Structure 1
Amino acid sequence: MSEGLKRDYQLCEEIGRGRFGTVFRCFSPESGEFFACKSIDKRLLLDSIDRECLDKEAKIMQLVSGNPNVIQIIDVYEDDSYLHMVMDLCDSSDLYDRVSKRIFSETEAAAVMSPLMEAIEHCHRHGVAHRDIKPDNILFDGRNRLKLSDFGSADCFSDGRSMRGIVGTPYYVAPEVISGRDYNEKVDVWSAGVILYIMLAGIPPFYGESAADIFEAVLRANLRFPTRIFHSVSPAAKDLLRRMLCKDVSRRFSVEQVLRHPWITSGAEGRRDQ
C-alpha cells in the first residue's frame, strides 16, 4: 500500500472488484468521512493500451470533478505496484439494481433523468464523452444523490475532434458506434434514452438473444412503443424518447435540448396517471 494512502486513510472492507483491481471502503481520520478507494494492481496491466486507459481515466475524472452528480476523485496515490484512487462513497443500490426490480413512474424516472443529464452536460462542457452510460454506472450516495461513475471508456472530443472505437455495452451503445464510423458526444444522449425507455417499460428498446442480435436491432433502430406496456406513458415522454433515440445524429437531441424538453422541465408533471 502507498505510504501516502496509509498515512491519510484507514482501509476497511472490500466493497467491489473489477478486472484490474479492488474497491475498498476507507476512512479519513482528518475529515471523519468514509470514501471509496479503487486500488489497481499495475502488474495486471498487460500492455501499454491498458496502462494508457488507466492514466486517462484518472485524468478525465479530475477534469470532470466539481459537479455534484459526477463521482468525485478526492486523492490519487501511486507506487511501483499500485494506483489508488480515493473517490466518493456510493453505498446505496445502483440504478441497475433498482430498474431490475420494478418499473418507474414518470415522476421517478424524471428524478433520475434530470441529474443524469446535468452530469452528462457537465462532462460534455469539459470536452468529455462518457461512452458507457448504463444503469450499472449510475450510483447513489447515502443521501440518494445520483453520481455518474466509471470513466474507463471516456474520451475527449474537444476542438471539434470526433471519436472512434467500439466501446460501451450492447443494449446501450449508439448505432453509429457499432457501424465503425466517427461519432460525437451524442452517443451519450442515445444511451441515456435507452435508460429512460427501460425505466418506463421494464425492457430495453432494442434487444436480441446474443450481442450480435442486439447490435443488429440497434443498427435498425426501429423504436416501438407496445400498447400493452406504454398505454399509460404520456405523449411527452414518448416524444422525448423519439428525440433521444433518433438514428440520425444530426436530428438527435443534444444534452442541452434534452434538459430543455418540457417532460424534463416539468418533472414529468404532465404525465398520465399510472
Structure 2
Amino acid sequence: MGTGNFGKVCEIREFGTDRRLAAKFASADASRQAALHAEIQNELDIMGILSKSGHPNLTTLQGTLSENNVTYLLMDLGGPSLSSHLAAGKQFTPAQVASLMKQLISGIGYMRSHSIQHNDIRADNLLYDGNVLKICDFGRATKMGILLPTVVLNYMPPEVLSECRSNNLDMWSSACLMVELLLGEQLITRQQLNVNDNNHTPLSRGDRNQMIRRQIAKAAQRIEACAGKDAALLFRGMTKPMKSRITPEEALKSPFLAQRPATAV
C-alpha cells in the first residue's frame, strides 16, 4: 500500500473475522534498532492517546504484533492517499476541496485538543476513499511546541524555517495542501528557498520571509479567482504569522467549509 516514516504498509485480513486492516511494519539491523524502537514507541504512544475515543478523520490503532524483531502496527483501513489521487490526474472542485479541508481541519482540531501536533500533514499522509478523509502516519507527531527539524521542507512555516518552535504548524501545512488541491502546485518550493543548491547563496531570514509573503499573496489572489473570497480568507488565516494564525476551531467557522460537494469525489 505504501511506505511510512520508518516502514512499509500493507493490507491484511484478520484470521477468523476476515476484517481488513492496514499493517505498518519495520525491521532494522543492530545499528538502527534503538532508533527504530524509539520511533515506533512514539507512534504507539501518540496513536494510543488519539485512539481512546477515536475520531472519524484519524486512522485508529487496532493493536500491535511483534515477531522476529519486526513490530506490526494494526490500524483501520483507509482509502488511497491524496497524493495518489493527484498523481493520477484527479482534479478537485472548490466544493470538494472544502469537504476535504473541513475533514482535515476537524482531525487537526481533535489532535490539538489532546495537545498533539502531527508535524507531517501532506498529501502522502492523508487517505481518501471518495467520501472520508483520514490522517495517517503519526511517526513525526509530538506534543505541542516541541521543535521538530525533520518536517518536510515545502510544508514548513516561517517559524520552523527559523528553527523556532511552532504551536500551529499543522494549520500552515494544511494551507500548503489547499494550494495543491485548488491550484495544482506547491505554495513554496525547495528551489525558491535555495536549499542545498551550490549555485545560489541561501536566502537570509528577511529575504526568505519576504519571498514567502509574496507567494502567499499570489496564491490568495488565484484562490479567490477560482474558489471565491471565503476560500482566500481561510487560506490567508492559515498562513498568518504563528501568533495570529487561526486555530482549527476558528477555521471550521469559515463559510467556505460549509459547502457540500454535489457528488462524491
> Structure 2 length normalisation: TM-score?
0.83
CA contact (8 A) 2:119 2:169 kept: yes
Could you tell me which of 230, 234, 254 is aligned with 1:240? 234
**Cα deviation, residue 60, structure 1:** 0.5
1:153 paired with 2:162, answer no
Are 1:251 and 2:244 an aligned pair?
yes
Matches within 5 A, 1:1-274: 15-17=1-3, 20-43=6-29, 46=32, 48-65=34-51, 66-79=54-67, 81-90=69-78, 92-100=79-87, 101-141=89-129, 144-157=131-144, 162-184=145-167, 186-209=168-191, 212-213=194-195, 219-220=209-210, 221-222=212-213, 223-225=216-218, 231-246=225-240, 248-267=241-260
Mean Cα deviation higher: 237-246 or 39-48: 39-48
**CA gap 1:244/1:218 in 2 versus in 1, 3 angstroms:** farther
Structure-2 residue corresponding to 1:4: none
Equivalent residue letter for 2:182? L
The structural deviation recorded for 1:32 is 2.4
Q: Distance in 1 between matches of 2:153 and 2:31?
A: 25
Shift of residue 42, structure 1, vs aligned partner: 4.5
Contact 2:92 2:181 in 1 (8 A): yes
Q: Which has the higher contact order (CA 8 A, sep 6+)?
A: 2
Mean alpha-carbon deviation: is it higher for 109-118 or for 35-44? Answer: 35-44
Q: Distance in 1 between matches of 2:193 and 2:73?
A: 32
Q: For 1:213-266, what per-residue CA distance to the aligned partner results, in whole angstroms no more than 9, with x for missing partners?
A: 5995874422133667753330111111111011x1111101111111121134
The runs of 5 or more residues in structure 1 that have no matched partner are: 1-14, 270-274
Task: Give the gaps of 5 or more residues in structure 2.
Answer: 197-201
The structure-2 alpha-carbon separation of the partners of 1:240 and 1:76, relative to structure 1 and needing over 3 Å to count, comes to same
**Structure 1 residues 28-47: Cα deviation after superposition (integer angstroms, max 9, x where no partner):** 13332111111221436616
Identical aligned residues as a percent: 24
Instruction: Give the SS at the match of 2:146.
Output: coil
Give the paired residue count.
247
Give how far 1:58 is off. Answer: 1.1
Contact 1:167 1:177 in 2 (8 A): no
Measured at CA, do residues 202 and 76 of structure 1 come closer, stay the same or move farther in structure 2, by a change above 3 Å? same
Cα displacement (A) at 1:77: 1.7
Task: State the one-letter code of the partner of 2:236.
Answer: R
8 Å contact from structure 1 (residues 24, 38) kept in 2:
yes
Distance 1:44 1:240, change over 3 A: farther
Whether contact under 8 Å (2:59, 2:135) holds in the other structure is yes
Distance 1:18 1:193 in 2: 22
Cα deviations by residue, 1:73-126 (Å, 9 ceiling, x for unpaired): 111122451111111123x33111223424422101011001111111111111
Tell me how far apart the structure 2 counterparts of residues 84 and 258 of structure 1 sit (CA, whole Å). Answer: 36
Structure having the higher helix fraction is 2
Report the alpha carbon displacement of residue 18 of structure 1 after superposing the two structures with TM.
5.0
Match of 2:185, as an amino acid? I
